[in-house]
Amino acid sequence: MVYDDVQLTKDQVSVLWHDRFVEKLGYPGKRIDDFTFAELQQFNFARYYTGGEREGVLSLQEFVGQYRSRCKLQIEIKNRDWEDIQRHHIKVQQCLNILGSVNNLDVFISSFNLNTLQYAHQLGTSIALVYALSETDDIAAIQTTVTDSKFLTGICQPIATLNKALVHFLREHNKLIVTYTCNAG
């Protein structure tokens, strides 16, 4: 499975980028949405890897075209607090349009923003929607979210916080469990 984060450029192109800022690329205090897709194409995204060949930003469209037929995909939609709600909606709509119809778990969308997943559900997507949790989410909050948001296919949480009670609850509710690791580096 390949996991990648999706954010919007200044000119509303869905691209792959995890971090809030682009300081690793030599632009301290700037965000990915401060630049157009054409500008980001000129950046060297391999800059912080020793010996990496020059590489511009990768669009979601290009990524899906290259990898969808070869592996399973987890697409995390990054909707940031500073973004206008319209940009959130555009990002969701673009992801759904690019991914198309999916009736299995070969592709699923995750987000730490429940409103993002609710919006995708309202649009009638057949793509599995997985709510990403942080280390601070407790089992009671998770249970409430899963119970109240029946459209969720599952949850994605730090592996260190997974416990038997939560696994039992999620299995009882026939929910997918996806884990991730947290590294501070």
Looking at the fold, whether 79 and 150 belong to one and the same domain comes out as: no
Domains: count for the chain: 2
**Domain identity same for 34 and 122:** yes
Considering only residues 82 and 4, tell me which one the structure prediction assigns the higher pLDDT: 4
What are the structure tokens assigned to 18, written together?
């995890």
Same domain, 36 and 103: yes
Q: What's the mean pLDDT in 38-53?
A: 80
Question: CA-CA distance, 132 to 123, in Å (whole number)?
Answer: 20
Q: What percent of the chain has pLDDT over 70?
A: 96
Average pLDDT, the chain: 91
What is the chain's percent helix, strand, coil content, to nearest 5?
Answer: 35, 25, 40
Q: Do 118 and 145 share a structural domain? A: no
CA 79, 41, 102 angle in degrees (round to 5)? 50
Residue with tokens 């965000």: 31
123-164 pLDDT tens trace: 999 999 999 998 888 889 999 999 999 999 999 999 988 899
What's the pLDDT score for residue 185? 47
Q: Provide the 3-class DSSP secondary structure of residue 13.
A: coil
pTM (2 d.p.): 0.91
pLDDT of residue 35: 94
Res 73: pLDDT: 96
pLDDT digits (tens, 9 = 90+) for 95-120: 999 999 887 899 999 999 999 999 99
Residues 125, 39 within the same domain: yes
Residue 43 carries which side chain, given as an amino acid letter? F
Of 117, 132, 147, which closes a domain?
Answer: 132
- Domain extent for 183: 133-185
Please write the tens of the pLDDT for every residue from 8-31. Answer: 999 999 999 888 788 888 889 999
Q: Give the pLDDT score at 58.
A: 93
**145 and 163, same structural domain?**
yes
Supply the DSSP string of 148-183, one letter for each residue.
Answer: H-TT--EEEEEGGG--HHHHHHHHHTT-EEEEE---
- Same domain? 75 vs 151: no
